[in-house]
Amino acid sequence: MADLQIRGDLLLNGQPVTCGGCGSGAALTLDRRGPRETWPAWVNCDLCGHGDDHPVITNGLIEAAAAARTGRQKAEDRDLFTATWRHLTLAGECVPEFVLDDARALVEELGKIGQKELRTRKTKARRWWRGRKRAAGRAVRGAAGQATGTVKSAALAAAWDLQTGGAGPQKTPRCRTKGCRGGWVTITTRIHAPGEKPEKVQTPCGVCHRA
């Protein structure tokens, strides 16, 4: 396991330390090599896999940086370090190691996701239920309207049967008397005429008596 696994930029006297292979400084690991503090430390890049002895960073500087780590107690804490050894200052952030509070934060985050999913499902269920109720209401109102129309038609038919004895509407037969129109017969006569010319006179029909 690496002595220091760096997250983000690693600064040596304020200048970024980069990989000699790909030039990146985003994912470096630092290891002590050998027993002496003045021996160069091994710097490896986790992105490209290139590793080499560093010309400036030594085992002593690595030990000072490891001792200066702040560590983490809570999930929101960062594992930072700033160490000075023989006029060299190394500063950076280590990849966070798991602490117990990380489990609590993970459970809380999962609980939030679960509550959000539950609210989403409840909202969809309420929308589906409201849609079903609206559809059922429309069906009930349509059936009620049809039933009301049927009842009204039945009531009108019953009233007509009560009044007519079920005979239904009947037409008055046409009078067969010649010249009868609506119970009146038009005749041409000179009787009671003021002049010599005959006049047309309407008289009630004696056959149909509809006048």
- pLDDT tens column, 170-189: 566 777 777 787 778 777 76
**With bands split at pLDDT 50, 70 and 90, how would you rate the model's confidence at 143?**
low
| Structure tokens that stand for 74 in this block | 């809570």
Residue 175: predicted pLDDT:
78
Angle at 202 between CA 200 and CA 203, to 5 degrees: 135
User: For the whole model, what pTM was predicted?
Assistant: 0.48
With residues binned 3-state (H G I as helix, E B as strand, rest as coil), the percentages for the chain, rounded to 5, are 35, 25, 40
**Which strand ranges, in their side-by-side order, compose the sheet holding 51-58?**
4-5, 28-31, 40-45, 51-58
Measured CA distances, 116 to 104, 121, 123, 153, 204 (Å): 18, 9, 10, 56, 94
Residue 13: predicted pLDDT:
92
Q: Would the pLDDT of 1 be above 60?
A: no
